[in-house]
């Protein structure tokens, strides 16, 4: 099953750190703007649509990431 992480820009460093710590540094991810909640509705919807396309592309690529046991 394809897996990816969606992260806001404010947490990219933490995401990368945790991915390395858990042994999955190549985990696919999509980064969204931060903060999202203060954007005008139309802009938030536009950015969500862009992010959704990125999620679909990442899933279609089916990059396999093995989590160590």
Q: What is the mean pLDDT of each run of 10 residues along the chain (69 residues)?
A: 84 94 88 85 91 85 54
**Count of other CB atoms within 10 angstroms of residue 37:** 6
Contact indicator for 45, 36 with CB cutoff of 8 Å: no
pLDDT attached to residue 63:
57
CA 50/CA 68 separation, integer angstroms: 32
3 state SS of 38: coil
Q: What is the pLDDT of residues 48-64, one digit of tens each?
A: 898 888 888 888 886 55
Q: Domain boundaries in the chain? A: 5-61
Contact indicator for 58, 31 with CB cutoff of 8 Å: no
Contact indicator for 25, 18 with CB cutoff of 8 Å: no
């Amino acid at each position: 099953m394809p897996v990816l992480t969606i992260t806001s820009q404010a947490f990219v460093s933490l995401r990368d750190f945790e991915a390395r710590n858990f042994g999955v540094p190549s985990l696919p991810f999509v980064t969204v703007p931060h903060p999202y909640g203060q954007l005008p509705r139309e802009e938030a919807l536009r950015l969500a649509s862009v992010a959704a396309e990125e999620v679909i592309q990442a899933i279609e690529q089916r990059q396999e990431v093995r989590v160590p046991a």
